[in-house]
Amino acid sequence: MKNFLKKACIFCLGLILVISIAQPAISVEGSKTEKIQELLELTMPEGRSEEMVTLVINSMKPSFPGVPEEFWSRAISKFSSSDLNDLLTPIYDQYFSDEELDAMIEFNRSAIGQSINSKMPLVTQESYIAGQRWGERIATEVLEELATEGFTQ
């Protein structure tokens, strides 16, 4: 029962990410959009979002050992960086002013900004794994407490 719930939780988290990437974005107009696109290109160069999709898919594979590699390859190929950029653009537009975007672009063009950006894929990957382990620990402890208190069969 515990193993099934863990698999279901991991699958649901992956599905939520996949569904959220597929949702249509609200349109943002003008030069602010161009600034946002430039910032996204600086912080998430081509291939970075594909790495994120691959990371999510790879984390799902152990929960579904009977699924052929061909399926996973097809799943990965369905998503592109433009999907993610379309989702992020209205969010950046909502929370950042033109002045803030200019400052972030300037920082990300700098040597230190580029250095930080080059390390972010590893930081993101390790953070994702740590968060996944933490989530599994939380789920395990809650399931054990539910069983101890007689809420599960």
Residues 81-123: pLDDT tens digits? 788 889 999 999 999 999 999 999 999 999 999 999 989 888 9
What are the extents of the domains in the chain?
2-148
Q: How far apart are CA 61 and CA 98, in angstroms?
A: 41
Task: Specify the pTM.
Answer: 0.61
Quickly state the pLDDT bin for 48 (edges 50, 70, 90): confident
Tell me the C-alpha distance between 70 and 151, whole Å: 40
State whether residue 46 is helix, strand or coil: coil
pLDDT digits (tens, 9 = 90+) for 113-153: 999 998 988 898 899 899 999 999 999 999 999 999 999 87
Quote the mean pLDDT of the chain.
83
**Has residue 18 got a pLDDT over 90?**
no
> Are 97 and 39 within 8 A, CB to CB?
no
Q: What tokens does 60 get?
A: 């799902």
- The rounded distance, in Å, linking the Cα atoms of 8 and 10 is 6
Q: Which residues contact 45 (CB under 8 A, 6 or more apart)?
A: 117
Task: For the beta carbon of residue 33, count every other beta carbon within 10 angstroms.
Answer: 15
**How far is the C-alpha of 37 from the C-alpha of 86, rounded, in Å?**
9
Which among 31-40, 52-61, 80-89 has the top mean pLDDT? 31-40
Q: Which of 24-33, 39-48, 89-98, 140-149 has the lowest mean pLDDT?
A: 24-33
